[in-house]
Amino acid sequence: MSSAAPRLPALLEALGQRAPRGMVLGLDRVREALGALGDPHADVAAVHVAGTNGKGSVCAMVESVARAAGLRTGLYTSPHLSRFAERIRIDGEPIGDAALERALSAALERVPSPLTFFEALTVAAFVAFRDAGVDLAIVEVGLGGRLDATNVLAAPLCTAITSIAFDHVALLGPTLADIAREKAGILKPGAPVVLGPLDPEADAAIEAAALAISAGPRLRVARAERGGSAGEIAVGGAGEIAVGRAGPSARATRIAGPGRAAIEVELGLRGAHQAENAGVACGIAWQLAGRWPEVERALPAGLAAARWPGRLERIDAGAAGVLLDCAHNPHGAQALAAWLDEEGPGAARTALVFGAMADKGWGEMLQTLAPRAQRRLYATPQGRAAAPLDALRAIAPGEPIGDPRAAVARAIEVAGPGGLVVVTGSIYLVGEVRSALLGIAPDPVVTL
């Protein structure tokens, strides 16, 4: 901890004490707190991104592109993998201790009413972005959209919804249309909208919400065809962004949009699904180019340089490699399975370390992933209640080890030289394993 931030440990402890209150949806407390601090969010040009999956990757890509264009950037995401500071980034790096101390002090001590954990961090992020003088803030929605603390942004330069799938149904609703309407709550009158590939039910709900408030114009990413070549994709019509392969490499991607020259780039992020995320990022960048023309020119370099820890991230760990992926719902597990089918070493040389939160679709996730690994080891992530190990074994035979680090050590042993250990099922499981492998002293786990 920096000597320039002597109060930071106490502030982080005070912040953590608010976590047991959980996620309390609503905007009144955040607006009141920001008003007491001079409305720092009103001083920052921002992009606002929601979605069931992919929103973090899109935010990372847009931030990388904006930074490649020479803009000073702020990035707000959740949760963290190792340290609280990862949630608030300035110019691509976790916020420094002194700046985090100032921002947390404002959010925890200078506001009229106690905020929840996530509300306090959201307020701190806007304070940090104002103090740092960022040109552009890229803000990821925490949960849903309509009542998420980040939705105090009244006039974002662009909004985006990356995907709609079943997750948090107790809070967002039981149908795709219900979930879509909640996420469409971030749309604002006159603000451009970029949509990832959506099921018709979700797309119709978002379209109705956009029309009701005169949001737009709207750009939609066409669903990528697996294995489609550059010559097989074309822009299908006004408002459509098409993505496809640009070469033999899995990350070589061609993206074409209405009225824009197609770009070809080797994406920095792994996975065929990242082509669609890159399409969303391009749509956002094209909107930003009206204000900063250099953003469009920076697209190839920024997309190639984008990094997002814990998402198909490979770490060398001796004889076997370790692949970390934060897939934590069935939709995410399907994307990971697609990568393993295309680029993995095969089930015989793959060991799966799986653990999930009990309130997630862990059964469907494991059914998707289990056939891709001949050996399976089950772990218990820190945080709230986890999926029982015996229940995991009932779906697919495996070793119930419990401790994530012990499970990874065992997986490396059974995968053998040249094998692959896949760690997935929970963001918190990935965070704990990543911290251990890289020797990072982690902050407490907060499942928000």
Query: Can you give the pLDDT at residue 247?
Result: 82
CATH 3.90.190.20 positions along the chain are 313-438
- Per CATH, the homologous superfamily of domain 8-305 is Mur-like, catalytic domain (3.40.1190.10)
CA distance 50 to 228: 27
- Is there a contact between 273 and 341 (Cβ–Cβ < 8 Å)? no
Convert the pLDDT of each residue in 164-175 to its tens digit. 988 777 778 889
SS3 19: helix
Please determine, looking at this structure, whether the domain spanning 313-438 carries the CATH number 3.90.190.20.
Answer: yes
User: What residues have CB less than 8 Å from 11, skipping those under 6 apart?
Assistant: 101, 104, 105, 108
Convert the pLDDT of each residue in 38-96 to its tens digit. 999 998 999 999 999 999 999 999 999 999 999 999 999 999 999 999 999 999 999 99
Query: Can you give the pLDDT at residue 207?
Result: 97
DSSP 445: P
pLDDT less than 70: residues of the chain: 1-3, 224-238, 448
Is the bond preceding 40 in cis, omega lying within 30 degrees of 0?
no
CATH 3.40.1190.10 positions along the chain are 8-305
- Is there a contact between 287 and 377 (Cβ–Cβ < 8 Å)? no
Tell me the residue type at 20. Answer: P
Instruction: Please provide the size of the chain in residues.
Output: 448
Query: Can you give the pLDDT at residue 259?
Result: 86
Tell me phi and psi for residue 238, to 5 degrees: -60, 135
- Is there a contact between 272 and 224 (Cβ–Cβ < 8 Å)? yes
